Amino acid sequence: MKSKCTIYFTSDTHGFLYNTNFVDDQPRPLGLLGMRFPKDENTLIIDGGDTIQGSPLTYFCRAEGEEMPIAAALNARGYDYVTLGNHDFNHGPADLRSYLEALDATCLCANVEGDLPLRGATVHTLGNGLRVGLVGIVTSWVNRWEKPENLQGLRVTDPLEAARRAIKALAGQYDILVGIYHGGIERDLETGRLLSETDENIACKLCEELPFDILLTGHQHIALAEGSWHGVHLVQTPCNAPAYIRAELGEDGKWRSCLVEVSAEQSLTLAEAALRQRMEAWLDRPIGHLSRAIFPENRLTMAREGSAIADFFNRVQLWATGAELSCSSLPNELRGFDADVTVRDVVASYVYSNTLAVLEVTGETLRQALEQCASYFDWDEEGRLCIAEPFLRPKEAHFNYDFFAGLEYRFDLSQPRGQRVKMMARQGKPIQPEDRFTLVMNNYRATGSGDFECYVGCPVLREVQTEVSELIIQYLAEHDTIEIPIPMKIC
């Protein structure tokens, strides 16, 4: 059947241009540079945000003053439209403006106001005369996660209301309406079950209240084609560019979509090949020594018995802040550390652009935080310990399990959620609800994100604005061989 409109859609590529996951230099089936989009006058190429932050490549370019290659890669592939993701704000408005000004594509983000080269919506007329209305929006939780200085001069408003106004302004000008939403799906598309009580992700609500024909979603990193809600076609891509969406509107008026996997083969320009060579050499630069290598284990094992990697992150956080207690999580994917540590070990293990905040917390706050961590565990039908569904669906969220340092605690996982913390002590002394401590955590967790609402309202005593990955590199540089003990069991 002849297509009236073809859309190629990427999202949450996070700076993964090359066919590497940065753990080593072996080619893998991922990377924006391995994507090719056949284009004619009835084709649109669109990106859903979280594009300029999140990989060792983007870290390298910023650390070494290299020109960021993301916009050039999108330009070479003929992108027509992009929207903004929450991580695109991580380095402030000047960095974001530089990216947008280098793009040939038009940025559509109706709920971002300020001095950026973007629009809320537009109408694109295809070669066959079909008028395509397009509206872009980003989750309003940017306001919750982002440091105020990174939003200076910008305002992120309610995405639903901003989209509603933008669509109203396009009334009568379009034949089909495409939404580009950097946010996820809050309901199970098969059962309708609500997956989250928050408004971080509102794709289903957008489908219910706005006249979209197709909604291109992101943020959750779900591989989704052929989704549907309230008569609206829904798609989403996984993160780090292993696949993209091809969606086609047939002459019968129906959308059809599929995920297209990326080949491990890449044909690079001379400039792209030279940049990768410089990056690989930088990643393999030695920066410190550990008494033993520490690599990730099974997720359930690390959560139950402790992680030497998380212990190391906590050690750095305590060193950098002087706090009494520390908590840190592990990303969904991480490399780990060889005994002879390289930059690659650091930036492929602590992958976020987080900074640190020191909060004043009570013993009761600690108990609530630990209960949230204990909810990570569940029991399957055969009575075996497993990971609870909210940490696996709608997306994997192992980064919402925290490891603590500076206190002793014990879970009884046979008990119901909310009643599992059976012991908390510091230096052998039981912790009372009214006791007060200084607790360092990353700035994301300090906002209460990840269902740690107990931290909301806690006094922020101080902040360290240096990114944690840079602090790890500094710690390694200032110490000789760092002793890595065997982690203690906590459950």
- Report CA Rg, the chain: 23
Q: Is the pLDDT of residue 232 over 90?
A: yes
What pLDDT band is residue 393 in, cutting at 50, 70 and 90? confident
The predicted structure's pLDDT at residue 491: 44
Segment 448-477 shows an average pLDDT of: 94
Q: How far is CA 298 from CA 302, 373, 383, 396, in A?
A: 6, 17, 19, 14
Q: pLDDT of 284-317, one tens digit each? A: 999 999 999 999 999 999 999 999 999 999 999 9
Q: Is 125 helix (H, G, I), strand (E, B) or coil?
A: strand
Q: Residue 196's pLDDT is what? A: 82
Structure tokens at 217: 């979603």
When the pLDDT of each residue in the chain is averaged and rounded to a whole number, the result is 95
The arithmetic mean of pLDDT across residues 251-274, rounded, is: 96
Higher pLDDT, 304 or 488: 304
For the chain, the structural domain boundaries read 3-275, 285-478
Whole-angstrom distance, CA of residue 351 vs CA of residue 335: 10
Burial of 51 (C-beta count, 10 Å sphere; 0-12/13-18/19+) = buried
Counting residues of the chain whose pLDDT is more than 90, the rounded percentage is 93
Residue showing tokens 């870290």: 59
- pLDDT at residue 141 in the model: 94
pLDDT of residue 395: 85
The closest of 234, 162, 225, 231 to 203, measured between CA atoms, is 234
pLDDT of residue 488: 54
pLDDT tops 90 at residue 147: no
Are the C-beta atoms of residues 91 and 56 closer than 8 Å to each other?
no
| CATH code linked to domain 285-478 | 3.90.780.10
* DSSP secondary structure code for residue 80 in this structure: -
Read off the pLDDT of residues 200-219 as tens digits, 9 standing for 90 and up: 999 999 999 999 999 999 99
Q: Three-state DSSP class for 203? A: helix
pLDDT value at residue 1: 53
* Residue 213 pLDDT: 98
pLDDT at residue 490 is higher than 50: no
Q: Say yes or no to pLDDT of 487 above 70.
A: no
| Residue 394 preceded by cis peptide, ω within 30 | yes
User: What pLDDT, in 10s, does the model give residues 308-355?
Assistant: 999 999 999 999 999 999 999 999 989 999 999 999 999 999 988 899
> pLDDT tens digits, residue range 73-116?
999 999 999 999 999 999 999 999 999 999 999 999 999 999 99
8, 45 in Cβ contact below 8 A?
yes
**Is 3-275 a domain of CATH 1.10.3720.10?**
no
